[in-house]
Structure 1
Amino acid sequence: MEPLSFQEYICSLDPTTLPRILRICSGVYFQGSVYEISGNECCLSTGDLLKVMAVALQEVICEDTETGQTMELPPTFKGEQGCPIPARTQWVPSSQGNLCSPRRLSLIVPQGPFLDGSRQQGLTLHQALGRWDGRPQPLLCPTIGPHALLLHPIYEVHAAMHLRRDVVKIPSTLEVDVEDVTEEAQDVHFARPLLLSEVLGMEEALPAQAEILEGPAGPAIFESAYGRSHAWRVLASAPGSGRHFLLSSTYQGWFRRRPRQFVGVQELAASLQPGRQLRVVVTQDCEGQGNDVPPLGMGDRLEVRGLQGNGPSTRLLCHCHAGEEEEGEELRLPPDLGGSFVEEACASKKYRLAELLERQPLPCEVRVVAPDPGLERDALGALPALRLEARLDQPFLVGSFCEEPEEGFEIPPQWLDLSLLLSEGPIHPPAPCTHRSRVEEL
């Protein structure tokens, strides 16, 4: 077909024939330009293809053929009682009728056969627009005025474009020329990019090869996505160094707990866990408070038993062993009491990561006493202390670069939701090794 203006094509389009594929021929949107159309950024270059999926009437501009003045009619306007009066452009309707009269809006063809050879036929607004033959048809509407009217519909076109995630919404008044290439473009595939978070839920389509379209700065690269990783993670930090790490539950190193340190009775109370004992040693002399709270001396051992009372009368119940005393005494310490304490902990027992988290609430400080033997270099083994901050259960996606298919990595879509284009057809690569993902420095 010959190229048509976008407006002319859309107005003459039969909705029952959708979808239709159009090629951009020419227009004010020259090649390489990017515009924002109805809230969507869209690049329309000469030669681009559009797959028109739906057309929605937005409004109708009604033009008086004698005066040239216009008014807007909403798509739902029927000229019935209670309808809002459409916006006008310096045009007062004649006394022959009122737009909100009880009568139904009737558009009449003044001349020429339009329906079954009839010279005059009452039509609704949508019926009149449905008889578009390539150019506006002069019509009469006694409720608006005595002159012939031209209706100029404005549509919102919903279309798919290559490498566009969302449906593009384009006004029919876009000043471009198009041609219908539906018949010769039957085999054209409009590729839709996917987010990494979407790929995570498509395990039946994995493994697959994918091209990264949008992500961190750098050239586009290819990767193979294999599926969801079922490992959980632990966020960790190296105290005093500013370094942070992400540990996988598959980490095979051994940990040893480091005694926790507490400043003040308030921290002791906050660290209590149901069913867990807490024993500490006083590391700094602390003054008492009157006759009810005796002073604490460096080396005193406290067994923290729990809180008593409510509000201002709240006290931390402890059993104190001072020096060589065997029986000790019961103490009721106020939360605002200072002091410095260190936890009494067994320094010889070693734990795997999962066992450690079962026994020890986070955050806690540990030391790696045996690095992961599966890692060429375990950065955690050289740290004097490691603080385990929190457990993370977000899903990760296992992938690898095509240049190194045997070296795998795991990507968290919640933090790095890349835009991908999956290749067509299945691939059957061997599952990559993900040892590198056991410890990652952030």
Structure 2
Amino acid sequence: MFGNECCLATGDVIKITGLKIKKIIAEICEHIEGCETPQPFELPMNFPGLFKIVADKAPYSTVEEITRTIHIGPSRLGHPCFYSQNDIKLKKFIVKQGEQIMLNSIDEVNGEVMVHCEVVRNHKNHSFTLPLSQEGEFYECEDEHIYTLKEIVEWKIPKNRTRTVKLTDFSNKWDLTNPFPEGFYGALILKPVYEIQGVMKFQKDIIRILPGLDVEVKDITDSYDANWFLQLLSTQDLFEMASTEFPIVAEVIEIPQGNQLLRSILQPGKTIVIHEKYQAARILASEIRSNFPKRHFLIPTSYQGKFKRRPREFPTAYDLEIAKSKKEPLHVVATKAFHPPQDELTSISVGDQFLVHNSQTTEIFCEGTNKVVNVLTCEKILKNNHKVAMLPLYMEGGFVEVIHDKKQYHISELCAQFCLPFNVKVSVRDLSIEEDILAATPGLKLEEAITDSYLLISDFANPKECWEIPVGRLNMTVQLVSNCSGHSKLFPVRTLVEEITEEQYYMMRRYESSFLHPPPRPPKHPSVDDTKLTLLTLAEERAVGLPKSPKNLRVDISKKLHSNQDGLDSKVPVGCQNDLVSLEKEQQE
């Protein structure tokens, strides 16, 4: 059926290894005036829509019920968030009522299966564990992220429950019939249709059975010896095993085509040792170049090459405020002229040089009244002296950093001494790597430090060194051969600079360390009328058409304003707050 072929004879025994969502049936759950409500219809996996998830209102009574229903995986996509209706008192920690609990992974601790969790308080992570037996009244948290249908299918559909979502965008590039009524951006109920995956006795190939196949089966799990079957595990299955089950010996059965990672080890038929699973730090970096496409990399902190600093570019004065550091004064040269309408602020000509100090507030005479605005105080470098300059934070200009530092740094030193993002160029390649893919890049922007999930493996026949395998980007299948008794010897660990696709890059930027990102820039113009016009224009653009790729995702205007409400005083000129609040109310209506 549909290219899946297998022969099933009477009496054959099949071990069911998993369920995979084959397709999604969607049902519109809103009545649209003037339109007939369409019958349920199929949404293909490559449907180019973007969705927001509606939180499930049904409670969960135990942590075990959550883990049985919700997929918990190694990436941010697989870290669901819940809150408890009551305080949870632990030995050294109290989880407060309504506090968002992120579930990161499941593991065995001292013989008991536990869920590793964390809460964020005052921008700091607090980690703890909850047993599966933990009782309470747990509810799914609201999720402000926007997802593709593929992401929802893989990570966000609970077992034995439907999932309600809201359509936020539909691509005009879709060349098939639009299944939605014209102008529809409402709520849908997604109902998965599963494909059954299994394995037959003495066979390595995975068989896939569609649910529509008319065949009668009998459950004989309790009376049959499952050891007759080969135990096939995916990378995800391996990561979900308890830490105490490692190390294990496995044979590689299937590896993605075109995979360039460890070609000498990861080949079908090769026997490997999987020593352990863990989280490792990486630096997310992109090429500095004016033309597209840019290449993106994950750099381990153990990378032995050296870097020299490269000048950064700053489009606004607010970017200068974010980039300044206590280690050294930020020295920049202007690449764009700026002439403020108020005499209290400083005019800028192309070529002017500044030393950036700090931000403060000052009074200016604007539209017949005195107003307080946020400014960046700098020293303007003249031939014989320095002059105090005040640049409004909203100023849209252009600045390039002047680098005086000629020192060469390891990446670990850069991360310790400077704040990311940071521009560098490889000055000495990593001599321990046969082919250093970073050495040929014209320049790199080190964007942020992330944490990713890895398996540590070595060649069983020739165990000279260990390698890290990314769980989320290498979906191999292995056959379990045996568990190693005791602890296997660990060899020197080799890490690789990994080049990732543009899609993988944007997924990481969307889900990793979002609370560490700088606050949004202030408005570009201090005028009330200009501010209202900018926001209304954005709202009109949203009504006409939405973005077509993850990198251009727009945030809902009302949500954006709501999320920034606590910081209005520092981000919006005095006199504009009431207008922004009223605009938020208009958007909600």
TM-score, with normalisation over the residues of structure 1? 0.54
One of 376, 382, 389 as aligned partner of 1:323: 382
Task: Indicate conservation of the 8 Å contact 1:235/1:388, yes or no.
Answer: yes
2:401 pairs with one of 334, 343, 347: 343
**How many percent of aligned residue pairs carry the same amino acid?**
26
Q: Which protein has the bigger helix share?
A: 2
Question: Partners of 1:303 and 1:186 in 2: how far apart?
Answer: 73
Q: 1:333 to 1:423 in 2, by over 3 A?
A: same
- Whole-angstrom CA distance in 2 between matches of 1:345 and 1:160: 60
Q: Paired residue for 1:196, among 235, 251, 260?
A: 235
Alignment-mate amino acid for residue 48 of structure 1: D
Secondary structure class of the residue paired with 1:379: coil
Amino acid at match of 2:273: S
| Counterpart selection for 1:391 from 412, 429, 449 | 449
Residue identity in the other structure for 1:358: A
Alignment-mate amino acid for residue 211 of structure 1: E
Higher Cα Rg, which structure = 1
Structure 1 residue 232, shift from structure 2 partner: 1.6
Give 1:226 shift. Answer: 2.1
Alignment of 1:48-87 (within 5 A): 48-49=12-13
Cα distance in 1 for partners of 2:348, 2:305 equals 39
Residue aligning to 1:306 = 359
For residues 322 and 481 of structure 2, the distance between their equivalents in structure 1, rounded to whole angstroms, comes to 53
Q: Determine the structure 2 residue equivalent to 1:125.
A: none
Measured at CA, do residues 357 and 45 of structure 1 come closer, stay the same or move farther in structure 2, by a change above 3 Å? farther
Aligned twin of 2:330: 279
Residue 249 (str. 1) matches residue 301 (str. 2): yes
Q: Deviations over 1:22-59 (max 9, x none)?
A: xxxxxxx9xx955xxxxxxxx7445522589xxxxxxx
Amino acid at match of 1:282: V
Between the two proteins, the alignment pairs up a number of residues equal to 292
Show the counterpart of 1:234: 283
Structure 2 counterpart of 1:151 = none
Contact kept in structure 2, 1:165 and 1:194, CA below 8 Å? no
The answer to whether the Cα contact below 8 Å between 1:282 and 1:296 also exists between their aligned partners in 2 is: no
Q: CA separation in 2, counterparts of 1:237 and 1:230? A: 22
SS at match of 2:416: helix
Q: Look up the SS of the partner of 1:356 in the other structure.
A: helix
Going from structure 1 to structure 2, the CA distance change for 1:418 and 1:202 (only over 3 Å counts) comes to: farther
Map 1:86-105 to 2 at 5 A. Answer: none
Instruction: Write the distance in 2 (CA, Å) between the matches of 1:319 and 1:179.
Output: 76
Give the SS at the match of 2:345.
coil
Alpha-carbon offset, residue 396 of structure 1? 0.9
Q: How does 1:23-62 map to 2 (within 5 A)?
A: 44-46=8-10, 48-49=12-13
CA contact (8 A) 1:396 1:413 kept: yes
Other structure's SS at 1:390 match: strand
Name 2:471's counterpart in structure 1: 413
For residue 211 of structure 1, what is the aligned residue in structure 2?
A: 251
Describe the shift of the 1:409–1:46 C-alpha distance in structure 2 as closer, same or farther (beyond 3 A): farther
SS of the residue corresponding to residue 216 of structure 1 reads coil
Give the drift of 1:318. Answer: 1.5
> Higher mean Cα deviation, 218-227 or 346-355?
218-227
Gaps of 5+ in 1: 1-28, 35-42, 53-158
3-state DSSP of counterpart to 1:232 = strand
Q: In structure 2, do the counterparts of structure 1 residues 292 and 383 end up closer, same or farther at CA, with 3 Å as the change threshold?
A: same
Q: C-alpha distance in 2, partners of 1:261/1:332?
A: 20
In 1, the alpha carbon distance for the partners of 2:414 and 2:382 equals: 32
Instruction: Check 1:179–1:302 CA distance in 2 against 1; reply closer, same or farther (3 A cut).
Output: closer
Q: Structure 1 residues 47, 212: closer, same or farther in 2, change over 3 A?
A: farther
Which digits, 9 at most, give the CA deviation of each residue in 1:59-102, with x for residues without a partner? xxxxxxxxxxxxxxxxxxxxxxxxxxxxxxxxxxxxxxxxxxxx
Aligned equivalents of 1:220 and 1:370: distance in 2?
Answer: 36
Give the Cα separation in 2 of the matches to 1:322 and 1:179.
Answer: 82
- 2:496 corresponds to which residue? 438
Alignment match, 2:437: 379
Distance 2:433 2:488 in 1: 23
**Distance of 1:402 and 1:170 partners within structure 2:** 39
State the distance in 1 between where 2:403 and 2:382 align: 19
Query: How far apart in 1 are the matches of 2:462 and 2:360?
Result: 57
Residue 289 (structure 1) aligns with: 340
1:315 and 1:334 in contact (8 A); partners too: yes
Which residue pairs with 2:152 in the alignment? none
Q: TM-score, normalization: structure 2?
A: 0.42
Kept in 1: contact 2:299–2:498 (CA 8 A): yes
The answer on whether the counterparts of 2:274 and 2:457 sit within 8 Å (CA) in structure 1 is yes
SS for the counterpart of 2:482 is coil
